[in-house]
Structure 1
């Protein structure tokens, strides 16, 4: 007799939440993006964040181990600046994002997270960590979008101190993602 157990999988990632002051700055910038002839799906500013590490679809057991490992994780608080808007990648852009300056904090923090989580089978990204906040996803590119981004490229959203990293569950729906906080890792 064969018995199969359905394992519940969770789509999860670690993120830095932004302050309301910074998030509120996104509305005006997104209005400028929408005024281009490109088709851009803007991220709800209330959901905007800096993705530190995407874990992918993980089982309950792995999620439990991630929480155990990360409950011991320590990091130093750091001041970040969210400013500048650009298209990414430069050729055939798919995303409009706000730049984040963190003095290398994010790259070092993610490298340590990668090291700690690797034994669980959670792989590190092939590309270098680049801190950013996604403002919108480009569904159809038009040159007018580049002109709009150039107009707001130097925009400053604000500064904040990062003292918490949040483990989030992400449920994809036709109306957009639904995020649920699983745990907070404090500095």
Structure 2
């Protein structure tokens, strides 16, 4: 049985991705060790499906024909460490007026009959900028300089189902399906 790593995502505009790159450059001056997300691959993950069979992926695609959502405007602004204690991720905050939480709830409802479980944590929209491999207090000092950074605003009218292949050079994403509002 062939397994694929899959997730639903919102793609970012080039302008917001350029701002991700600029913020990463400002944070590189800390002594912390991070694995930075390639800005060209930066996105908002709505729902991570994990490693699923190719057959289940086809079933997900079929059931998504029932999925509909309203387009929305989002703002990417602010940078923080997550979680606050023993941080593992640097992310950019996303304001979406509850759109993401409602959209994820609908995805969960549609995918439950396929045995795909709901996330137990409350959905927090964000853009991962880097994963912390070795924390250093200088990261918080660097973060203070970009904490309120405005990345930009954008319209969301498409959700993409993606496959992810992990390689030694980082993940490689392939679009499987686009769902438009």
State the 1:33 CA deviation.
1.2
Match among 125, 141, 144 for residue 150 of structure 1: 144
Gap runs ≥5 in structure 1: 1-6
Q: Could you say what secondary structure the match of 1:36 adopts? A: coil
2:38 maps to: 44
Higher-Rg member (1/2): 1
Residue 10 of structure 2 corresponds to residue 11 of structure 1: no
2:113 maps to: 119
Output the TM-score relative to the length of structure 1: 0.95
1:32 maps to: 26
Residue 77 of structure 2 corresponds to residue 77 of structure 1: no
1:3 maps to: none
Q: Is the 8 A contact 1:33 1:40 kept in 2?
A: no
Match among 155, 159, 165 for residue 161 of structure 1: 155
Q: Could you say what secondary structure the match of 1:92 adopts? A: coil
Q: Could you say what secondary structure the match of 1:71 adopts? A: helix
State the 1:83 CA deviation.
0.4
Q: Is the 8 A contact 1:13 1:52 kept in 2?
A: yes
State the 1:72 CA deviation.
2.3
State the 1:71 CA deviation.
2.1
1:55-94 correspondence to structure 2 within 5 Å: 55-94=49-88
Q: Could you say what secondary structure the match of 1:53 adopts? A: strand
State the 1:100 CA deviation.
0.2
Q: Could you say what secondary structure the match of 2:167 adopts? A: coil
- Structure 1 stretch displaced more, 28-37 or 155-164: 28-37
Cα distance in structure 2, aligned partners of 1:158 and 1:46: 16
Runs of 4+ in 1 over 2 A off after TM superposition: none
Cα distance in structure 2, aligned partners of 1:173 and 1:141: 24
Cα distance in structure 1, aligned partners of 2:120 and 2:29: 35
Q: Is the 8 A contact 1:165 1:186 kept in 2?
A: yes
How many residue pairs align between the two structures? 181
2:16 maps to: 22
